[in-house]
Each structure stands twice: as structure tokens, then as C-alpha cells.
Amino acid sequence: MAGRTNEARSLAAKGGSEGEGAVLDLQRYFPYRLARLAEQVSLAVAEVYSERFALTRQEWRVLALLGGRSEIATKQVGPLTTLDKMQVSRAMQGLEARGIVTRKSDPDDRRGLIVSLTPTGRALYRKIVPFALARETKLLSVLTAEEAEVLDRAMRKLSAELG
């Protein structure tokens, strides 16, 4: 461990001493770095669904959610995609207009709607998902198995702390 000269580059490097002359180095500030990375990743994935298939981020989330099941009540979509109800409503309208989903009234709650993928939507899902998964795999392949595991754990911890 003799060569440890640049310790200051790691996370949570404090600025000055205390309270008073505190300095925040943006390039090392964790929230900034995380926002930046998330944006980079988001952009890389958006190439798949946005440029090739003209979906918005919200539409993509809904499609991704729906791919795994035959149908779902619209009211459940928000919590599962981290979209508010207005975003869900607009995403649904967009997807319906393009023939990707259909909506029918929920017999158990006549305020609500039940969404399902059309055959077109299912075909789209099958076309996009392999690319999306490939992006994820390729990206994560720069990490060692141990790094991926710790990253996973760290993200869970941080998310739980804020939830």
C-alpha cells in the first residue's frame, strides 16, 4: 500500500476543515457524478428505443413493463415505472395511437382501465428487448464480477436510505 498517493480522488472527499471555508468540488460531488452517469447511460439506452423505434422514455418504460405480462391495470403502472399518473396517461395515449397497446374498461373498477399489448406491440417488444439487454450486458462487462456485485449492493443501500 505504499503507492497510495491520490486518496483525494475517491468519494466523499471533504473540502476544507469544517463549516466555514467549505468547498464543494462539483467533479467529485457524488450527486453530480451520479446524475451525470445516469444521463450517459440513459442516452445510450435511448438510442435503442428512441432513434430506432421512436418511443419516448416513458413509453419505453410502459412497454418494458407490459412485455412480461398479458395485461395490467393502468393504476398499477405508475408505481412500477416511477411515472406519475399524468405521464402514464400520456404514454398510454401515445402507445394506443400507434397500435402498440389496447385499453379496455376495468370491470372491477369502472374508473380504471386495463392495458395489454397488441400483437404489433408484442412484436415490437420482441424486437427491442434483445438490443436493450445487449446494451446492458455490454456496459456492465467493463466491471469485474465483484465490482458488479458491490455496485448492486451499494445501489440498493443508497436507494433504501432515500426511499
* Binding-site ranges for DNA (CB under 7 A): 56-58, 73-75, 84-90, 92-93, 103, 106, 109-113
Q: Is 94 buried (19+), middle (13-18) or exposed (0-12) by CB count in 10 A?
A: middle
Q: Quick check: 123 binds a second copy (CB under 8 A)?
A: no
Alpha helices in the chain, H assignment, sequence order: 30-46, 57-67, 74-81, 85-97, 119-140, 145-162
Decide if residue 12 touches a second copy (CB under 8 A).
yes
- In the complex with DNA, the residue whose CB is nearer, 75 or 122, is 75
Q: Which does 153 bind (CB under 5 to 8 A by kind): DNA, a second copy, none?
A: a second copy
Task: Measure the CA–CA gap between 157 and 154, rounded to whole angstroms.
Answer: 5
Place of cell 403502472: 77
Using alpha carbons, list the distances in angstroms from residue 73 to 61, 99, 132, 158. 15, 18, 25, 30
Interface stretch with a second copy, choices 92-100, 101-109, 114-122, 153-161 (CB under 8 A): 153-161
Find the binding residues for a second copy in span 25-54 (CB under 8 A). Answer: 25-27, 29-45
Q: What does the buried/exposed string (b/e) look like for 45-65 if buried means 16 or more CB atoms within 10 Å of the residue's CB?
A: beebbeeebebbebbbbbbbb
Among 54, 99, 123, 130, binds a second copy (CB under 8 A): 130
Give the binding site for a second copy (CB under 8 A): 9-12, 14-15, 19-20, 22-27, 29-45, 61, 64-65, 67-68, 80-82, 126, 129-130, 132-133, 135-137, 139-140, 142-143, 146-155, 157-163
